[in-house]
Amino acid sequence: MERMPAGGPATVERPSGRLAGGEWNRHPVRPDGSRIPTGHPDRASSTTSERDDVVQQYLDLMQKILDEGTDRGDRTGTGTRSIFGHQMRFDLAAGFPLVTTKKLHLKSIIHELLWFLAGDTNIGYLNRHGVKIWDDWADEHGELGPVYGAQWRSWPAPTPEDGGRTIDQIATVLRMIRETPESRRLIVSAWNPALVDAMALPPCHALFQFYVAEGRLSCQLYQRSADVFLGVPFNIASYALLTMMVAQVTGLKPGHFVHTFGDAHLYANHFAQAREQLTREPRPLPTMTLNPAVTDLFAFTYEDFTLSGYDPHPHIKAPIAV
């Protein structure tokens, strides 16, 4: 069992922001040989095949891009092969969807999510915890401009007459989940057209929506641009974890995480790494446990998360396109 390192109150730091297994089976099939789709009633939600399919969906996306994608130029000059429009669905009851065909740095995923939720846009907190994933975009002072955290927690009100008021989208959506769970407006957007040019990197995972049914909370993410080899495994785990956290503090159970893509791409200098990963068989998913004592979304710390049963294949190194 891997437990987040313990630390007393004097050592726990929250981000400071604007706001103080069985045999592997590639796809389960019916007796006639036809594939049973994910989520179909004929398919148990937490069987070994279902757990395997969580990672297999990701591998299938990489294979589809390699086989069917279009070679295109891109902002970084690296070159990509991409497809447009794709969706994956993960039943969070099947296990925590942390990719097992290569080792992921969970510490970075958790700290980045806590940093977003704090409304922070400076890499100082991340660096103090050994997280470097935003370093290439920060200025000399560690600032990134009004990126994710700023939009989630302090979206500027629309007119000057509002006197500098901001909108806390996360607090708002929590209130709505509790008060009007049937609402179709349980949405948080990081894409603010008025401020995109001021951001060091415009949001790739641009908008997410919650859905409550039968006591379970599901989340759908729309990701306009997806670095499938490096970024997407992080995004899956991050939004799955966010869904679990929001479910806990609103008295619900985690449902599904639905991941919808616009431009899903592999960078040209990731093709070999993707092919290497495709030779690996998925392993059983780990389990993520949250500290049940936490009832305030903004009170979670790194020590409140416990991952068990994670046995991934070795890490595969790949360059990042800036």
Residues annotated within the binding site are 75, 105, 184-185, 224-227, 235, 265-267, 321
Just list the catalytic residues: 204
Catalogue the long-range contacts made by 34-40 (C-beta closer than 8 Å, 24 or more residues apart).
Answer: 38/89, 38/91, 39/89, 39/91, 39/256
Type of residue at 105 = H
Q: Please name every residue paired with 306 in a beta bridge, in sequence order, or none if there are none.
A: 3, 289
Residue set of the binding site for dUMP: 75, 184-185, 224-227, 235, 265-267
Q: Name residue, tokens 């294979």.
A: 63
CA–CA separation, 296 vs 18, rounded Å?
A: 18
Q: Which residues contact 150 (CB under 8 A, 6 or more apart)?
A: 17, 18, 119, 121
Helix ranges, 88-196 (H)? 106-117, 124-128, 148-154, 169-179
Q: Where are the alpha helices (DSSP H) in 87-168?
A: 106-117, 124-128, 148-154
CA 162 from centroid of its chain's CA atoms = 33
Phi, psi of 174 (to 5 degrees): -65, -45
